[in-house]
Structure 1
Amino acid sequence: MEYVLDNPIYYALTSAHSHIAKGSDQVKYYVEDITAFAGLRDNSPDDLNALYQVSPAESLFVFFSKTPVYIPEKWKLLTQIDMFQFIFRGKEIPMADAVGITNLDLEHVTEMIGLVELTKPGPFLAKTIELGNYTGIFVEGKLAAMAGHRFFPSPYREISAVCTHPDHLGKGYAFKILQEQVKRILLRSEIPFLHVRNDNDGAIKLYQKLGFEIRTDMIAYVIKKEF
């Protein structure tokens, strides 16, 4: 069933996240204030034309593909990000001490958005927290590091928004939060996976240390409606 990871956004939106999806059978996208991701059944020009037809004016979307995609002229390609998709292959459930890890909720959203804007781990909107299980570490009352869940093409659960404030790098906060995230996912009999830029050597080494392995290359396309 690992094939669903070849198109994780589409399979999440047609299964576990169908209640927060818009679109058609061919193309799906998340409710606008949750996140900007779209899932296309085949990542074809026809899919992109269909997305254009069912989405609001001036929409901005991010979609993933394993292979290069031709972007029709009615869409403006804002950027393209080359990534690795990692999957957890560890043999044991991490049982690290969770002391100091806080479950994040709506009262923390302003701080979370601030940390994301500073560190740029990926899109994070006002209701992205509804995707679930965001955890953080606070230092002197300020959010120093966090991570949470994003796509859920069951039984695979993506860890996302992994970020640490620049003032707190090198203190092991990301490692500790990721251990807790992996543990929670495995205890639900799900399988952790994640995405990272393929030039982010520090993050790649951290994920490999935790028991993740590169599964495939992945491309993120950021597009906006031109007309």
Structure 2
Amino acid sequence: MLNNPVWAALTGPQACFAEAAGNAARYLPEIAPFAALSDPADPAAWRDLATITDHALLTGPSITPRAGWEVDRVTPGVQMIGQSMSGVEDPEAVPLTEKDVPEMLDLVARAEPGPFLKRTVDLGRYLGIRDSGGRLIAMAGERFRMPGWTEVSAVCTDPAYRGKGLGARLTLAVAAGILARGELPFLHAVHDNENAIRLYGRLGFTHSADVVFASFRYTG
């Protein structure tokens, strides 16, 4: 499952957020930009994908497009797993819900953690930390969820508040909720975000695989 987490999520616990056709599926557009194939080496799966979208963001160890699809962009990344880590709940972390989405989107625009849309919050538990004036300054939450595993995602801190350990605290708090359900946490990071990768290592995550985040366009 970890080598194809989006497919495992969209055909499993998060099927309610999926649009699917044969051996291809994607998240509903307002939820997340990711799509998946049952087998990225199967030309038929790529044909199925073309029936539901003409632009797809996929992730996995290695992805080569088949006939009719072209590469827009490929970003190398890493996958890390928390098989032996311990989560830590944070008393200052507050649950974030649909009513907080405007603030969450504003924080995402400032901190640029990666894809986060107006309904991404529906995918799982999101936590945030606010400053003394009530402004949202850091957050983290859950994205891909598959049997036994849930991804920690959208870990971000307002640039003015970085270096205070807020991202680490929220990562551990989100992981604590995942572990409490009897699941294991995992996460992704782009390969050149060395500070984040070192931080996740200190928190107990270990390298699982090298992956890519690849955007493809259907040309027919």
* TM-score bracket relative to the smaller structure: over 0.9
Deviations 1:182-227 (A, max 9, x none): 1111111000000001111110111001100000111111123446
2:83 equivalent to 1:83:
no
2:180 equivalent to 1:183:
no
2:10 equivalent to 1:8:
no
2:184 equivalent to 1:194:
no
Is this contact kept in 1: 2:63–2:214, CA < 8 A? no
Q: CA deviation at 1:45?
A: 5.8
Question: C-alpha separation between the residues in 2 aligned to 1:6 and 1:171?
Answer: 33
Alignment match, 1:31: 28
TM-score by length of 1: 0.90
Matches for 1:28-177 after TM superposition, within 5 Å: 28-44=25-41, 46=43, 47-52=45-50, 54-56=51-53, 59-70=54-65, 72=67, 74-91=68-85, 93-96=86-89, 98-139=90-131, 140-177=133-170
The one-letter amino acid of 2:29's match is E
Is this contact kept in 2: 1:27–1:50, CA < 8 A? yes
Aligned residues: 218
Question: C-alpha separation between the residues in 2 aligned to 1:14 and 1:94?
Answer: 27
Q: From the superposition, tell whether residues 75 and 116 of structure 1 become closer, same or farther in structure 2 (CA, over 3 Å).
A: farther
Q: Which runs of 5+ in 1 are unaligned?
A: none
Is this contact kept in 1: 2:79–2:189, CA < 8 A? yes
The one-letter amino acid of 2:21's match is S
% identical equivalent positions: 32
Question: C-alpha separation between the residues in 2 aligned to 1:202 and 1:101?
Answer: 23
Question: Root-mean-square deviation (CA), in Å?
Answer: 1.6
Is this contact kept in 2: 1:45–1:70, CA < 8 A? no
Question: C-alpha separation between the residues in 1 aligned to 2:27 and 2:109?
Answer: 21
The one-letter amino acid of 2:120's match is T
Q: From the superposition, tell whether residues 214 and 75 of structure 1 become closer, same or farther in structure 2 (CA, over 3 Å).
A: same
TM-score by length of 2: 0.93
Q: From the superposition, tell whether residues 208 and 151 of structure 1 become closer, same or farther in structure 2 (CA, over 3 Å).
A: same
Q: From the superposition, tell whether residues 75 and 133 of structure 1 become closer, same or farther in structure 2 (CA, over 3 Å).
A: same
Is this contact kept in 1: 2:152–2:186, CA < 8 A? yes
Question: C-alpha separation between the residues in 2 aligned to 1:78 and 1:144?
Answer: 33
